[in-house]
């Protein structure tokens, strides 16, 4: 890094960006844990009390209460993410009740932002994708811009650069179309500036400065057209940093001057001091010593007016460097001595504050110790008076204690026996489930192979004989026409039977699962079932499935997904199905959502004839140690969530079992 780039990191970022990041980090660290009740800052107590009262009013309509709950969720973000999420989930419930899909999408995106704050970018991406789907379904193009602009940094944090750029470019295309053809283009001009700036940051973070520069320049031009002070202030500092990295110090100077002019216009004294500090550093580096001294003097005056000792200390260090470059050793030494004095003063001030805190803590602890000693003397006097009573109570307590210990020992033995019995039953149920699943798979392979090798060959032989007969009849001019037509119909029916046998054989023994794995097999299944012309659209997102999963997990999940999609097609009357399969860390999540008629889950499980399939799904997922959750109501559609743990050992051994499964069933599918 260049000499200036080093001072840029030390000067500009602490004054503009790093302080904001540090402050935010401290707020998040100060937020109480989920188990403790979060404390609301006194300055915001009135804010929260006002919204709570509005939310509790019985005469308030659900739509207004929904907006009030969402404001509460936004307010909790920097205090307690758990509380913010709880209020957001309540808002989602009301949004669904009143049918506000836009508000529901905003809530899912907000939950994604909360999870992003915790550093779980993959899970946050799943929620942002869900919000984007809803924005797309309801045609909310402003919401689509926000969603894509939130998805971009998640991909960037995961170092998925191409996906990040794709998200930002989709946001850019929508924004440009709204500016060109929308009813209120002025509402979107500043948002386009932010999107263009974010595209530049993707290239900048990869060290591709030449590619980043034109996007920053477009962002600056767009920000100036929008007239937004925030947008105008954001881009010049990025351009200045870029020019500094490219060692174009004169250009960097111009951009920081522009930022200074904006801070002067807005009356931001702290921003002016920070900008003048960086500008003075650049002028020192460029040899413009008089201008550097003038601007550093202005920065020092502003820092003194603010009373900011830390900023004043940094300015004195820049004065020392300036005088050293000018060859003024005495003045450089004096400036450096002032820098040292300010550093020592800050250290002494902090030490004095710490000593005062320690003294106050010592006095408090001493007073508490004195109070404890007085309490002990009082207890000692009371013990003397009650000595005989205590002796009697102790004797009685010994008897009761012996009885209680005996009862506890007996009860503990019984409890251990119950636990052992429950564990044995659970193990038996697991073994029975495993045997059933393995037997089903073996039977599927056997039936599929028999259909393919036996029935298929017999039908093929029959077709050959009939085709030969048809050929002979064709050479006999006197053969009746009805006989020829009947023979042609028989051959056509035989072809249909061969195709049906082949289809059933492939369903019983899916070749795609062996060749392509879970993602490829599900994608092939979706392509077979998706029929937009018939009114059914199936959208599939598969994330993190580059490596194969354990064969048992792939087989069970494929059958479960196959059963779920078949149920939607048969019973839900849906025209849109969204399917997401996400493998992150040691967990695999499947999310299936449809817009069908929905159903009553409790009623379906209670029916002897209707709950067998659902119970079978629960049993299969339980065998994998996972969890199946079905959220459905009549008239609202269905959301199915599956979470399955993937152990590190099973991932390491995936290749060998997959090859073994392929060899075991290869003979049955090799001629398909």
Residues 435 and 567 both lie in one domain: no
Residue of 247 and 304 predicted with greater confidence: 304
pLDDT at 182 over 50: yes
- Please indicate, yes or no, if residue 600 is contained in any of the structural domains: yes
The enclosing domain of 661 has a CATH number of: 3.30.565.10
3-class secondary structure, 307: coil
Q: How confident is the model at residue 657 (pLDDT cuts 50, 70, 90)?
A: very low
User: Of the ranges 456-465, 524-533, 588-597, 643-652, which is most confident?
Assistant: 588-597
The neighbour count for residue 349, using CB atoms within 10 Å, is 11
Residue of 129 and 31 predicted with greater confidence: 129
Residue of 543 and 363 predicted with greater confidence: 543
Q: How confident is the model at residue 3 (pLDDT cuts 50, 70, 90)?
A: very low
Which residues lie across from 584 on neighbouring strands? Answer: 587
Residue of 452 and 538 predicted with greater confidence: 538
**Of the candidates 265, 291, 320, which is a domain's last residue?**
265
- Please indicate, yes or no, if residue 126 is contained in any of the structural domains: no
Count of the separate structural domains present in the chain: 3
Least confident of 220-224, 454-458, 534-538, 649-653: 649-653
pLDDT for position 165: 94
**Over the Cα atoms of the chain, what is R_g?**
36
Residues 561 and 665 both lie in one domain: yes
pLDDT at 96 over 90: yes
Q: How confident is the model at residue 590 (pLDDT cuts 50, 70, 90)?
A: very high
Residues 660 and 537 both lie in one domain: yes
Least confident of 310-319, 385-394, 395-404, 502-511: 502-511
Chain Cα centroid distance, residue 395 = 62
- Please indicate, yes or no, if residue 49 is contained in any of the structural domains: no
For 662, phi then psi, to 5°, come to -60, -40
Residues 499 and 547 both lie in one domain: no
Q: What is the DSSP string of 454-523?
A: IIHHHHHHHHHHHHHHHHHHHT-TTS-HHHHHHHHHHHHHHHHHHHHHHHHHHHHS-HHHHHHHHHHHHH
- Please indicate, yes or no, if residue 154 is contained in any of the structural domains: no
Q: How confident is the model at residue 602 (pLDDT cuts 50, 70, 90)?
A: confident
Q: What percent of the chain has pLDDT over 90?
A: 24
Contacts of 311 (CB under 8 A, 6+ apart): 15, 270, 273, 274, 277, 299, 303
Residues 493 and 528 both lie in one domain: no
pLDDT at 670 over 70: no
**Of the candidates 247, 265, 283, which is a domain's last residue?**
265
Least confident of 52-66, 78-92, 118-132, 442-456: 442-456
Least confident of 266-270, 346-350, 525-529: 346-350
DSSP 187: G
Least confident of 130-134, 343-347, 404-408, 413-417: 343-347
Residues 549 and 661 both lie in one domain: yes
pLDDT at 27 over 50: no
Residues 587 and 531 both lie in one domain: yes
Strands 576-584, 537-543: pairing kind: parallel
- Please indicate, yes or no, if residue 367 is contained in any of the structural domains: no
| Mean pLDDT calculated for residue range 317-331 | 91
pLDDT at 243 over 50: yes
Residues 574 and 500 both lie in one domain: no
Residues 410 and 438 both lie in one domain: yes
pLDDT at 462 over 80: no
Q: How many CA atoms lie within 13 A of 112 on its CB side?
A: 27
Tens digits of per-residue pLDDT, 347-406? 665 555 555 555 555 565 666 677 777 777 777 777 877 888 888 888 888 888 888 898
User: Of the ranges 154-158, 186-190, 263-267, 608-612, which is most confident?
Assistant: 154-158
User: Of the ranges 41-55, 233-247, 551-565, which is most confident?
Assistant: 551-565
For residues 605-629, b (16+ Cβ closer than 10 Å) or e, as one string?
eeeeeebeebebbeebbebbebebe
Q: Which domain holds residue 432?
A: 389-505
| Mean pLDDT calculated for residue range 43-62 | 79
pLDDT at 18 over 50: no
Q: How confident is the model at residue 579 (pLDDT cuts 50, 70, 90)?
A: very high
pLDDT at 624 over 80: yes
Residues 521 and 541 both lie in one domain: yes
- Please indicate, yes or no, if residue 632 is contained in any of the structural domains: yes
pLDDT for position 239: 83
pTM of the model: 0.42
- Please indicate, yes or no, if residue 228 is contained in any of the structural domains: yes
The enclosing domain of 219 has a CATH number of: 1.25.40.10
Least confident of 41-45, 397-401, 602-606, 610-614: 41-45
Q: How confident is the model at residue 524 (pLDDT cuts 50, 70, 90)?
A: confident
Residues 484 and 594 both lie in one domain: no
pLDDT for position 480: 77
pLDDT for position 454: 64
- Please indicate, yes or no, if residue 48 is contained in any of the structural domains: no
Residues 495 and 572 both lie in one domain: no
Q: How confident is the model at residue 29 (pLDDT cuts 50, 70, 90)?
A: very low
Q: Which of 264, 266, 269, 339 is nearest to 304 (CA)?
A: 269
For 334, phi then psi, to 5°, come to -65, -45
Q: Which of 502, 523, 518 is nearest to 661 (CA)?
A: 518
CA-to-CA dists, residue 664 to 451, 517, 616, 668, 670, angstroms: 17, 16, 26, 9, 11
**Of the candidates 215, 237, 265, which is a domain's last residue?**
265
pLDDT for position 51: 80
């Amino acid at each position: 890094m260049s000499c200036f780039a080093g001072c840029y990191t030390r000067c500009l970022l602490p004054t503009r960006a790093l302080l904001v990041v540090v402050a935010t980090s401290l707020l998040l660290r100060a937020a109480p844990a989920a188990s403790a009740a979060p404390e609301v800052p006194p300055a915001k107590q009135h804010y929260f009390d006002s919204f709570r009262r509005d939310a509790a009013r019985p005469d308030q309509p659900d739509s207004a209460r929904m907006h009030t709950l969402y404001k509460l969720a936004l307010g909790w973000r920097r205090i307690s993410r758990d509380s913010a999420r709880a209020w957001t989930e309540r808002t989602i419930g009301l949004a669904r009740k009143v049918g506000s899909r836009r508000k529901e999408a905003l809530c899912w995106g907000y939950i994604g932002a909360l999870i992003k704050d915790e550093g779980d970018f993959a899970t946050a991406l799943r929620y942002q994708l869900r919000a984007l789907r809803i924005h797309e379904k309801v045609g909310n193009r402003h919401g689509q811009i926000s969603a894509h602009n939130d998805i971009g940094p998640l991909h960037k944090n995961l170092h998925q650069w191409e996906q990040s750029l794709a998200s930002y470019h989709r946001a850019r295309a929508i924004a440009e179309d709204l500016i060109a053809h929308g009813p209120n283009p002025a509402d979107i001009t500043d948002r386009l500036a932010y999107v263009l700036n974010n595209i530049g940051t993707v290239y900048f973070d990869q060290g591709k400065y030449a590619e980043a520069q034109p996007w920053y320049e477009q962002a600056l031009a767009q920000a100036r057209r929008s007239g937004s002070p925030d947008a105008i202030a954001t881009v010049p500092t990025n351009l200045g940093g870029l020019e500094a990295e490219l060692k174009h110090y004169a250009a960097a100077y111009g951009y920081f001057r522009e930022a200074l002019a904006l801070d002067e216009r807005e009356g931001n004294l702290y921003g002016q001091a920070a900008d003048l500090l960086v500008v003075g550093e650049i002028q020192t580096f460029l040899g413009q010593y008089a201008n550097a001294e003038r601007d550093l003097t202005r920065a020092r005056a502003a820092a003194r007016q603010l009373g900011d000792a830390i900023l004043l200390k940094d300015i004195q260090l820049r004065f020392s460097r300036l005088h050293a470059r000018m060859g003024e050793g005495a003045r450089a030494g004096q400036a450096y001595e002032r820098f040292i004095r300010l550093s020592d003063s800050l250290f002494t001030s902090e030490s004095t504050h710490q000593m005062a805190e320690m003294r106050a803590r010592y006095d408090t602890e001493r007073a508490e110790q004195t109070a404890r000693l007085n309490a002990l003397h009082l207890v000692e006097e009371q013990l003397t008076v009650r000595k005989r009573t205590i002796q009697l109570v102790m004797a009685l307590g010994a008897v009761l204690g012996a009885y209680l210990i005996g009862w506890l020992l007996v009860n503990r033995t019984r409890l251990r026996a119950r636990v052992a019995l429950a564990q044995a039953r659970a193990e038996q149920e697991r073994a029975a489930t495993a045997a059933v699943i393995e037997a089903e798979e073996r039977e599927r392979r056997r039936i599929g192979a028999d259909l393919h090798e036996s029935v298929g060959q017999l039908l093929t032989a029959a077709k050959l004989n009939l085709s030969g007969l048809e050929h002979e009849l064709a050479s006999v001019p006197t053969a009746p026409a009805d006989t020829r037509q009947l023979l042609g119909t028989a051959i056509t029916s035989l072809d249909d039977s061969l195709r049906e046998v082949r289809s059933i054989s492939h369903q019983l023994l899916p070749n795609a699962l062996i060749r392509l794995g879970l993602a490829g097999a599900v994608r092939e299944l979706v392509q077979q079932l998706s029929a937009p012309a018939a009114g059914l659209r199936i959208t599939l997102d598969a994330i993190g499935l580059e490596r194969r999963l354990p064969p048992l997990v792939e087989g069970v999940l494929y059958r479960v997904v196959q059963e779920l999609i078949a149920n939607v097609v048969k019973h839900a009357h849906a025209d849109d199905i969204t399917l997401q399969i996400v493998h992150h860390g040691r967990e695999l999540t499947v999310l299936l959502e449809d817009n069908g008629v929905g159903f009553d889950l409790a009623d379906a499980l209670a029916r002897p004839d209707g709950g067998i399939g659902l119970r079978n799904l629960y049993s299969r997922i339980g065998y994998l140690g996972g969890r199946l959750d079905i959220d459905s109501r009549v008239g609202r559609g269905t959301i199915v969530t599956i979470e399955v743990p993937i152990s590190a050992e099973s991932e390491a051994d995936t290749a060998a079992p997959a090859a073994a499964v392929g060899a075991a069933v290869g003979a049955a599918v090799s001629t398909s």
